[in-house]
């Protein structure tokens, strides 16, 4: 047991950890600053979705995560109706007669997942020149996402984690399927052995392979654009997506602050978006080496070289932007740097429990608060590998959030049918350890990123602490991570633990100051009841009318009101202007 209690110095200020750098970048990139400009624009741009509405930011707009509460459930017919508006009474998803005893009677249980709403189920037709919105048609959806033949927006099968500090993970996604090795087109690293980049050499063009290490965020970023729950009509392709985006003016629908920390000097002073003379092609040309976009010759007859390489540009640019989203100035960082007064005595008690009676540092360790980060693995991976053969899956654990059969996590497959667990690929014994294991998430800014766990089944940090105090909800199935067992924590200790977790928030995140400032965005917030077809677009007779909310534009100096927490949203706190992102402002985008 004691081997898992990290020494005190195993936590610490994130300022001491250097940001991992992708290998081989200069081969592709001519201007790293422009790469970040391109990446930030792409990440926030609503034109990227097939519907001209869904951006990466749609599910990562709030402290890097998503705190929407209506039409956010998968498998909703299990316990909740389609388009359900979550309330405080719905959490936690599993309620026991004795909350401290995971063997006590079950009062309520749901296998639903609080994920993120994306697109309606639609089949891709074609892109429309000069338009963000693509042609396509509605397709009937499963009962989980439709009522009387009218479709609701589909929802992701897991909860959206924060993109802030995600650059520190060796592998991304809850199950680690976004590989550390970026191969230019898909998330799966070595499993994708194809040549995915088109290079101009000696008067012609030729395919070559891409192998960039420390690039899990690039691997991750090429997933959502072709995913028909998240951003795409079914059947869209990368060259088509590239052709659409390269011809568009960046962020044309959205206001950008002239004070934006990255985009400000390029913001259009007169109207929405970036300057009228800019297109995504011009930003790509500014950021990337000409060998990757100079030729008109691409795949087949109707794609240029730039269009053929769009996944490469997309992945590297968005990764470069997300690598700037580092929150290393929480009060906990200041405390670790020697400012003893930065944490209250209650928070310091919480820190002590986090390290000792709570057993939390067995997995949430290092300045990143996760064993799945580069620096944690460098520090401890070798020891662990010897101990249990799991070194390369370091930081993935089963803590008993749900039964293994509902979601195998690291025990599942990648898109090419290979085991996600790298240890299991070689060793059958490791396979069972991977079942139901998920990546240990960072706990930085966790106050702002509810609901919690891969299933979004806990609304408050108090509920999470109660979960750990009873040793998890589903201990059966074995292979629980180290330290997951019943712990006698008093109410005072639990409260202190929650107070400590809240000291991990960086005020720049809380108030959206640089680098966490951003363009305007509108997000769907469910559908009016009863679901009714939206008559305004004759192409989509099965799609329900949407409700939209504005996420207001913010520049480098941030907002005057702090972000609303998920808990506050459920309780209706903050709509009086005392919080930001209350999802109550009308969408100003036509």
Residues contributing to the site for ligand HEC (CB under 6 A): 43, 54, 56, 58-60, 115-116, 118, 156, 158, 160-161, 163, 166, 169, 172-175, 217, 220-221, 224-225, 230-231, 318, 358-360, 362-364, 397, 399, 401, 438, 440-441, 443, 446, 449, 452-454, 461, 464-465, 468, 481-484, 497
Report the candidate in 214, 205, 203 with the shortest Cα–Cα distance to residue 195. Answer: 205
CB of 331 vs ligand HEC, minimal distance in Å: 17
- What the block records as the tokens of 285 is 């040309």
**For ligand HEC, the closer CB: 305 or 440:** 440
- Radius of gyration for the chain, computed over Cα atoms and rounded to the nearest angstrom: 23
CB of 357 vs ligand HEC, minimal distance in Å: 9
CB of 547 vs ligand HEC, minimal distance in Å: 16
Based on the number of CB atoms within 10 Å of its own CB, is 307 exposed (0-12), middle (13-18) or buried (19 or more)?
buried
Closest residue to ligand HEC: CB criterion: 481
Cα 55 from Cα 118, distance rounded (Å): 9
Q: DSSP secondary structure string, 258-285?
A: TT-TTTGGGB-SSSSSB-TT--HHHHHH
**For ligand HEC, the closer CB: 35 or 360:** 360
Give the other-Cβ count within 10 Å of 236's Cβ: 24
Report the candidate in 484, 488, 497 with the shortest Cα–Cα distance to residue 351. Answer: 497
Cα 515 from Cα 144, distance rounded (Å): 38
- What the block records as the tokens of 398 is 């089963």
Evaluate the omega torsion of the peptide bond into residue 570 and state whether it is cis, within 30 degrees of 0. no
Query: What is the distance of C-alpha 60 from the center of its chain?
Result: 6
**For ligand HEC, the closer CB: 170 or 550:** 170
**For ligand HEC, the closer CB: 47 or 295:** 47
**For ligand HEC, the closer CB: 291 or 407:** 407
| Residues facing residue 124 across a β-bridge | 136
CB of 102 vs ligand HEC, minimal distance in Å: 14
**For ligand HEC, the closer CB: 14 or 205:** 14
Determine if residue 17 is left, alpha or beta; phi over 0 gives left, psi from -120 to 50 gives alpha, anything else beta. beta
CB of 534 vs ligand HEC, minimal distance in Å: 19
Backbone phi, psi, residue 555, to 5°? -95, -175
**For ligand HEC, the closer CB: 51 or 512:** 51
- What the block records as the tokens of 144 is 């989980």
Report the candidate in 334, 233, 263 with the shortest Cα–Cα distance to residue 40. Answer: 263
CB of 407 vs ligand HEC, minimal distance in Å: 8
CB of 395 vs ligand HEC, minimal distance in Å: 8
**For ligand HEC, the closer CB: 160 or 394:** 160
Report the candidate in 127, 391, 161 with the shortest Cα–Cα distance to residue 242. Answer: 127
Evaluate the omega torsion of the peptide bond into residue 92 and state whether it is cis, within 30 degrees of 0. yes
Based on the number of CB atoms within 10 Å of its own CB, is 383 exposed (0-12), middle (13-18) or buried (19 or more)?
exposed
CB of 473 vs ligand HEC, minimal distance in Å: 10
CB of 91 vs ligand HEC, minimal distance in Å: 13
């Amino acid at each position: 047991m004691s081997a898992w209690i990290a020494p005190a110095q195993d936590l610490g200020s994130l300022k001491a950890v250097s940001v991992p750098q992708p290998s081989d970048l200069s081969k592709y990139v001519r201007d790293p600053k422009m790469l970040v400009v391109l990446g930030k624009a792409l990440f926030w741009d609503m034109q990227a979705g097939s519907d001209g509405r869904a951006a990466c930011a749609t599910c990562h707009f709030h402290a890097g995560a998503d705190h929407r509460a209506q039409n956010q459930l998968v498998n909703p017919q299990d316990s909740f109706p389609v388009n359900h508006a979550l309330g405080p009474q719905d959490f936690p998803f599993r309620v026991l007669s004795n909350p401290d005893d995971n063997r006590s009677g079950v009062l309520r249980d749901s296998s639903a997942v609080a994920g993120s709403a994306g697109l309606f189920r639609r089949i891709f037709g074609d892109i429309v020149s000069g338009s963000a919105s693509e042609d396509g048609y509605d397709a009937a959806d499963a009962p989980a996402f439709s009522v009387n033949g009218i479709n609701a927006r589909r929802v992701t099968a897991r909860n959206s984690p924060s993109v802030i500090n995600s650059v520190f993970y060796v592998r991304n996604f809850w199950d680690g399927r976004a590989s550390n090795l970026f191969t230019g087109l898909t998330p799966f690293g070595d499993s994708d052995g194809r040549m995915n980049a088109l290079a101009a050499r000696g008067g012609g063009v030729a395919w070559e392979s891409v192998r960039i290490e420390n690039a899990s965020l690039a691997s991750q970023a090429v997933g959502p654009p072709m995913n028909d729950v998240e951003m795409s009509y079914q059947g869209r392709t990368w060259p088509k997506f590239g052709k659409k985006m390269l011809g568009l003016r960046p962020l044309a629908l959205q206001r950008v602050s002239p004070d934006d920390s990255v985009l400000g000097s390029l913001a259009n002073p007169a109207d929405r978006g970036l300057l009228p003379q800019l297109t995504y092609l011009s930003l790509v040309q500014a950021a990337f080496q000409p060998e990757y976009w100079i030729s008109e010759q691409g795949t087949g007859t109707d794609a240029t070289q730039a269009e053929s390489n769009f996944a490469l540009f997309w992945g590297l640019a968005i990764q470069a932007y997300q690598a700037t989203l580092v929150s290393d100035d929480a009060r906990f960082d200041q405390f670790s740097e020697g400012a003893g007064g930065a944490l209250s005595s209650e928070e310091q008690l919480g820190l002590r429990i986090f390290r000792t009676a709570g057993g939390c540092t067995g997995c949430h360790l290092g300045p990143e608060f996760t064993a799945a980060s580069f620096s944690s693995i460098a520090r401890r991976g070798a020891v662990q590998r010897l101990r249990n053969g799991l070194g390369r899956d370091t930081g993935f654990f089963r803590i008993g959030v749900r039964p293994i059969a509902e979601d195998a996590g690291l025990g599942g497959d990648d898109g090419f049918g290979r085991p996600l667990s790298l240890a299991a690929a070689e060793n059958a014994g490791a396979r069972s350890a991977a079942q139901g294991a998920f990546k240990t998430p960072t706990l930085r800014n966790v106050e702002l990123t509810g609901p919690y766990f891969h299933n979004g089944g806990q609304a408050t940090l108090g509920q999470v602490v109660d979960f750990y105090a009873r040793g998890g909800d589903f201990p059966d199935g074995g292979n629980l991570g180290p330290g997951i067992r019943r712990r006698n924590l008093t109410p005072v200790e639990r409260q202190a633990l929650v107070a400590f977790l809240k000291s991990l928030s960086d005020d720049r995140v809380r108030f959206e100051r640089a680098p966490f400032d951003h363009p305007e965005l509108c997000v769907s917030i469910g559908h009016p009841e009863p679901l009714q077809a939206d008559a305004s677009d004759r192409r989509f007779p099965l799609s329900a009318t949407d409700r939209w909310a504005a996420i207001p534009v913010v520049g480098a100096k941030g907002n005057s009101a702090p972000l609303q927490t998920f808990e506050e949203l459920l309780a209706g706190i903050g709509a009086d202007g005392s919080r930001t992102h209350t999802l109550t402002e009308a969408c100003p985008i036509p």
